[in-house]
Chain A
C-alpha cells in the first residue's frame, strides 16, 4: 500500500513526497446538521488529490475547513508536520495555501492584471513609506512581482485580456483568471473548488491540462473538488469519496472505481 512508504514515483515519472496536509477526525456541524462526520485523509507533497461525491456530500465544506473559512468542532488539521491552531482564512493563505471558489470570487472592478497582482500580496514585504516613495527595494520588489505575474499570464495564455476589467469576461475565462490569481501566490498547496463546473468539453480539456502542467512544472500540490468523473479519474493520483458527510472511499482512481460503496453512492442503491 502506498500509504506506508514515505515517497514514491508515479507511472508518469513524478515524485510524490510525504504527507503535507493531514486531516484527522474532522467533524463539522452547522447547528444540528453534521456536514462532515469524522473524516480523516491526507494530501501528499506533489500529488493531485481529488475530493468527489454527490451534491451535498460536504466536499466544499471540507475545502473550507482546509482554507480556514470554516472551523471544525472536532478533529485536527496538521500541515507540514505541525498541528495547526484555528486560523483565519488570511492566515492560511499566508502559509502558502491558495484557493479558488465554486462561484468565482474575483475583484470585479479591477483589471485581470490587477486581480492577479493581488495574488502577490503575500510576497510583498516593503513598508508602506518605501512603497509610497517608490524607493529602491520597493521598486525591485514591484518588478519581481510583475515578472512573476507575467510568467503566469503566459502560462495560462491570457495575454490578450491582461487589461480587461474582469466583469466583462465570459465565465470560462473568469475561472482561468481566478486560477491565475491563486497561482500568483506561488502556493505550496492549491485548492480548487470545482474548477471545471459549467465548462464545455474543450474548456474542460484546457483546464485539465493547466492543472497537470501546474503540478508538473511548479511541483504544486493540488487538491480539487470536481463532479466530472472522467476528468477526475484522468488527472488525479488519489481520490477521496464523500457521501452525506462521510468518507466512503479513498485510494487511486482504479481502486475507487471498483469500490462497491462508491458505485452505490453514485448509481443509487435500494436499501432494504
Chain B
C-alpha cells in the first residue's frame, strides 16, 4: 500500500472523528426541534455554559464573584476547594436541568402556538442572555478543562500501523480525545434512542412531537415533556461542552461551534437523530478529504466554507435532508 493511500485513510478516520464532534452539537438541536418545533440557536451557547459551569464548579470558583466584589468591595474568587470531576458533572447537570425548567417556564411556555420565527428569535435572545450570564458567573478568561480525558495522539495506534506503507510511513495519527469522544457519542446516542423508544417518558416525548392535541387526550402534560426535552438538550450540551472544552479549551468562541451544526442539520434533516450523526460524519469526512485533495490546488483553508457549500447544494436538491421527514402539504 502506498503511503499516500494510507494517509488518505488517516484523513478519513480523522474526518469521521471530527464529524462525531459536530454531530454531538447537532443532536441537541434535533431533540428540541423535533419535540417542540423550536430551532434552538442557543444550543452552542448552552454547550459553552455547561463547560464553563463544569470548570467553575471543579475549581471551586465563586459564581458571580466579579459582581459580588464590585458591589460589596470584597475580594473573593475561590471557595478554596476543588470538586472531583464526577461530582462536578452531576452538579453541572443539575444546573442544566434547572436552566431547562427556567427557559420553559419563563420564556417558551408563554410562546406556545407562536410563529416559528418568533420562537427562533426568542432563542437568539436566549443565546446572548446565556452568554452574558456565563461571562458574569464565571469570567471570560480561557480555561482549561481537565476532567481526566486522555490527550494527544494514540501511540498504540501509531505503533500498530507504522510500517504499513513502507519505511517513510510512521503510522496513523489519531487523537485519543477524539476516540473517547466517539465512544461517548455512541453511548449517548444509544441511550437517547433507547430512552425515546422504550420508556414511558420517551413514548410521551414522541407523542408530543407528533400531535399536541392527541398527546393531551392520552394524559400527557406538555409542559413536563418540554422541560424534559430541554433537560435532555442540556445533557447533550454538557457532553458536547466537555468534549469541545477538553479539545480546544473553554473559551467563548466555543459557542460558534453551533454554526458548524447548521450544515450538519441541513444534510441530516432537522428531525432525525440518525440524520444528525450521519450528517456530522459526512461533513467531517467531506471537509477533511476536500482539504487534503483539493485544498492545495486552490490555496487551502477550505474547511471554513466547505460544509456550508455542501449544505447549500443539499438545500437545492433535497431540502428535507437525508433523513428528514418530507414536508407534504395536504390539500
Contacts and interface: CB of A to CB of B under 8 A. Distances in A.
B211 A108 contact: yes
Interface stretch (A85-93, A195-203, A231-239): A85-93
A256 interface: no
Contacts of A101: 213-214, 217
Residue with the highest number of chain A CB atoms closer than 10 Å, among B200, B210, B325:
B200
A98 interface: yes
Residue with the highest number of chain B CB atoms closer than 10 Å, among A91, A132, A134, A181:
A132
B247 interface: no
A121 B211 contact: no
B203 interface: yes
Given A109-B325, A132-B194, A119 B216 contact: no
Contacts of B213: 69, 101, 105
A108 B216 CA distance: 15
B211 A105 contact: yes
Contacts of B220: 90, 118, 121
A128 B201 contact: yes
27 contacts: A69-B213, A89-B217, A90-B215, A90-B219, A90-B220, A90-B221, A90-B222, A93-B217, A94-B219, A99-B217, A101-B217, A105-B217, A107-B211, A107-B215, A109-B209, A114-B206, A118-B207, A118-B215, A121-B203, A121-B218, A121-B220, A122-B219, A131-B198, A131-B201, A132-B195, A132-B198, A132-B199
A232 to B, nearest CB: 23
A54 B201 CA distance: 41
Interface string A117-149: 111011010101001101000000000000000
A110 B207 CA distance: 8
B204 interface: yes
B203 A93 contact: no
Given A106-B214, A126-B200, 6 more contacts: A107-B215, A110-B210, A121-B203, A128-B200, A132-B198, A181-B218
B200 A121 contact: yes
Nearest to B214: A105
B201 to A, nearest CB: 6
Interface string B211-234: 101111111111000000000000
A67 B218 contact: no
Contact of B203 (A67, A90, A117): A117
A185 interface: yes
B210 A108 contact: yes
B71 to A, nearest CB: 41
Contact of B200 (A89, A94, A99, A124): A124
A101 B216 CA distance: 12
B216 A93 contact: yes
Interface string B272-301: 000000000000000000000000000000
User: What range describes how many residues of B lie at the interface?
Assistant: 20 to 34
Given A89-B217, A106-B214, A107-B211, A131 B325 contact: no
Contacts of B210: 107-110
A188 to B, nearest CB: 13
Specify the main secondary structure of chain B where it touches its partner. Answer: helix
Residue with the highest number of chain A CB atoms closer than 10 Å, among B199, B204, B206, B211:
B199
Interface in B170-202: 191, 194-195, 198-201
Contacts of B200: 121, 124, 126, 128, 131
Contacts of A132: 191, 194-195, 198-199
Residue with the highest number of chain A CB atoms closer than 10 Å, among B206, B209, B214:
B214
A107 B207 contact: yes
B15 to A, nearest CB: 32
The 10 tightest CB contacts between A and B, nearest first, are A93-B219, A105-B214, A107-B210, A89-B216, A131-B199, A122-B219, A124-B200, A105-B213, A94-B219, A90-B221
A91 B222 CA distance: 11
B211 A106 contact: yes
Nearest to B222: A90
A22 to B, nearest CB: 22
Contacts of A91: 219
Contacts of A121: 200, 203-204, 207, 218-220
B261 to A, nearest CB: 23
B206 A119 contact: no
B197 to A, nearest CB: 9
A1 to B, nearest CB: 35
A94 B325 CA distance: 32
Contact of A118 (B195, B218, B221): B218
B264 to A, nearest CB: 22
Contacts of B191: 132
Given A105-B211, A108-B210, A109-B210, A119 B218 contact: yes
Contacts of A126: 200
A185 B216 CA distance: 13
